[in-house]
Amino acid sequence: MSSSALPYAVSGLPRLSRPALQHTIDRAETLSGIGLHSGRPVSMTLRPAAPGTGILFRRMDLPAGAARDLPARADRVVCSPLCTTLTNPAGSQISTIEHLMAAFAALAIDNVIVETDAPELPILDGSAAPFVAMIDRAGICTQAAPRKMLRVLKRVHVEKGPVSATLEPGPGGLSVSFHIDFPAEAIGRQSCHIALGEAGFRRHLAGARTFCMKDDVYAMQSAGLALGGSLDNAIVVDGATVLNREGLRYDEEFVRHKALDAIGDLYMHSLPISGRYTGVRASHAMNAALLKALLADPTAYAIETVAPGSGLAETFTASRDEAELVCA
């Protein structure tokens, strides 16, 4: 399925004419949905923010004060099952933010306040497409401040058994390669590669949905997770069968979603990354560990001003693989 056939309008032309400057949104925009893990209604609002603010989540269901605010920072990411979670010194948390963060990264949103009335964002359809459409409705505003980026200077690698994630220096912009291997016949081994840009993200990744195995649903819900999960917001796989009536939106939708997740996870420091990322079966926790390992080594990165024309030419490939996956 092409992006033009998605239930959200995400195939519009890129509108960023000044990529070396910071961006926010033009006006506030609100949407509502169900929390994936709580199963409860959630409302969220995007609001414009001043240059240098970064991505700031604000829990409006909490009393006014510092406990409300959760800036997107790598050192504030905590491990949580099946999603990415931010915390703050007061112990407040906001979860399931990776799809929105991927949309911010792809559309070059540097500064925005995300207000929510719950400890997680709405899952919507399980992809980034509704968040892209939300940003489109809000409009994108160029700000009179230079954009900063985090340039990878040397290879950083984390792994645990067959799972790994790597960042390496690249020619400019962010490229993402992801490889998965699942026993379910409907998924199997899949790979994709994208040189991140707004147009390519809209076309190839934005609509790719989160997924799970049918056999895992009962276990997750018994543990108090995925209480809001349904065929409306996730692909459910049973062996060789996709249980969703509409089927898949893309070939290799599963690995495309994992690449989408990685893009969101790598934007958790509110700075675009210039480098090459490779994930082999990598989880949110592995991506968080990679970003923390990078930032823990001052010789591994530099924060620089984005130069005009510093991005990569947009490319995308995806395939089913026959070779067994191994760690880099």
DSSP code of residue 161: T
Cβ atoms of residues 142 and 54 within 8 Å: no
Spatial separation of the C-alpha atoms in residues 88 and 314, rounded to whole Å: 36
- For residue 213, the SS3 value is strand
Burial of 196 (0-12, 13-18, 19+ CB in 10 A): buried
Spatial separation of the C-alpha atoms in residues 212 and 224, rounded to whole Å: 16
Per the annotation, the verdict on 179 as an active-site residue is no
What is the distance, to the nearest Å, from the Cα of residue 41 to the centroid of all Cα atoms in its chain?
A: 22
257 is in an annotated binding site: yes
193 is in an annotated binding site: no
99 is in an annotated binding site: yes
Burial of 14 (0-12, 13-18, 19+ CB in 10 A): middle
Catalytic residue among 37, 193, 269, 284: 284
Spatial separation of the C-alpha atoms in residues 123 and 98, rounded to whole Å: 10
- For residue 63, the SS3 value is coil
Residues within the annotated binding site for Zn(2+)? 99, 257, 261
Binding-site positions read 99, 257, 261
Active site residues: 284
